[in-house]
């Protein structure tokens, strides 16, 4: 007769692999199953929080905040957060980012879809030595107004309709990423803080620049300048190939 193995008899590693496949609210809910499960979810290396339309936005913000406070994994490989338009703007998202950085985050995807003013992220984000992939979307203010920004491991950067403090912040963000391979940019319809979007990253292998509504395709190689309705895009001479999408 085969021996029956209970799920609670599985190793912590296997339990964590199972929980990674479960929505965040269900991951935390497993704490009530037994004493064994009470703290397992706090060791998850991947955390994903996506606000649903049928969720109460205020309680969702509280849930994410509490989950981040209780999280105890020595290494947080991935943090993926999307806050909807009804989420209270007084939620302190900066401390979530700060905690992720302090736990050696490698993949960070953050979208603020709320109606409040653009939010600046902590300086620690732009000095994170472990970050490999960074995606910032919507009501996020890219403010790199300090000279010691350093992202030595960043390979993939995606900026979707964010707000740039100024051209200096953009330049410092890109220059702080010496091994950056892929850059994907979608601009807002109005971007008063930038006249030119300048890309001078010798390590870059792929650059996609476009608007939210994709239009005609146009390959663009080498260095030079390309104009759109927002402003100029200046591409450094060392960029081997670029895909630029322009509105029709």
Q: Please answer whether residues 179 and 133 qualify as being in contact, where contact means their C-beta atoms are separated by less than 8 angstroms.
A: no
**Confidence class of residue 137 from pLDDT cuts 50, 70 and 90?**
very high
> Which range, of 16-30, 57-71, 167-181, 183-197, averages the lowest pLDDT?
16-30
More confident residue, 20 or 179: 179
More confident residue, 130 or 227: 130
**Confidence class of residue 157 from pLDDT cuts 50, 70 and 90?**
very high
Q: What is the DSSP letter of 55?
A: S
Averaged pLDDT, 78-86: 88
pLDDT surpasses 70 at 189: yes
pLDDT digits (tens, 9 = 90+) for 11-63: 555 555 555 545 555 544 454 444 555 566 677 788 888 877 666 666 777 77
**3-class SS of residue 240:** coil
- Tokens, residue 38: 């009470």
Averaged pLDDT, 214-239: 47
CA distance 235 to 226: 8
CA distance 148 to 92: 24
pLDDT of residue 153: 98
Q: Please answer whether residues 59 and 86 qualify as being in contact, where contact means their C-beta atoms are separated by less than 8 angstroms.
A: no
More confident residue, 241 or 108: 108
Q: What is the DSSP letter of 233?
A: E
- Tokens, residue 150: 């350093």
pTM value is 0.77
More confident residue, 179 or 6: 179
pLDDT of residue 19: 55
pLDDT of residue 132: 98
pLDDT digits (tens, 9 = 90+) for 199-222: 888 898 888 887 433 333 333 444
Q: How many CB atoms lie within 10 A of CB 79?
A: 23
DSSP secondary structure string, 167-202? HHHHHHHHHT-TT--EEEEEE-S--TT-SEEEE--T
pLDDT of residue 188: 83
pLDDT digits (tens, 9 = 90+) for 126-135: 999 999 999 9
Residue matched to tokens 């302090």: 102
User: Which of these, 209, 144, 218, lies nearest to 177 by C-alpha position?
Assistant: 144
CA distance 201 to 210: 18
pLDDT digits (tens, 9 = 90+) for 83-123: 888 777 778 899 999 999 999 999 999 999 988 889 999 99
């Amino acid at each position: 007769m085969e021996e029956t193995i209970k799920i609670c008899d599985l190793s912590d590693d296997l339990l964590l692999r199972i929980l990674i496949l479960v929505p965040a609210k269900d991951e935390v809910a497993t704490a009530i199953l037994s004493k064994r499960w009470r703290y397992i979810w706090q060791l998850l290396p991947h955390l994903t929080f996506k606000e649903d339309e049928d969720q109460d936005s205020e309680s969702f913000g509280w849930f994410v905040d509490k989950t981040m406070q209780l999280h105890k994994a020595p290494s947080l490989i991935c943090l993926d957060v999307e806050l909807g338009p009804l989420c209270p703007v007084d939620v302190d998202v900066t401390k979530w980012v700060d905690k992720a950085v302090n736990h050696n985050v490698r993949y960070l995807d953050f979208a603020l879809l709320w109606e409040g003013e653009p939010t600046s992220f902590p300086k620690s984000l732009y000095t994170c030595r472990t970050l490999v992939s960074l995606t910032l979307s919507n009501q996020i203010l890219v403010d790199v107004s300090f000279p010691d920004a350093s992202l030595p491991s960043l390979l993939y950067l995606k900026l979707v309709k964010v707000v740039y403090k100024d051209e200096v912040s953009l330049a410092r963000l890109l220059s702080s990423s010496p091994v950056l391979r892929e850059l994907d940019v979608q601009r807002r319809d109005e971007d008063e803080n930038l006249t030119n979007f300048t890309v001078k990253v010798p390590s870059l292998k792929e650059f996609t620049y476009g608007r939210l509504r994709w239009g005609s395709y146009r390959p663009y190689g080498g260095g030079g300048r390309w104009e759109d309705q927002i402003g100029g895009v200046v591409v450094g001479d060392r960029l081997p190939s670029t895909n630029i999408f322009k509105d029709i």
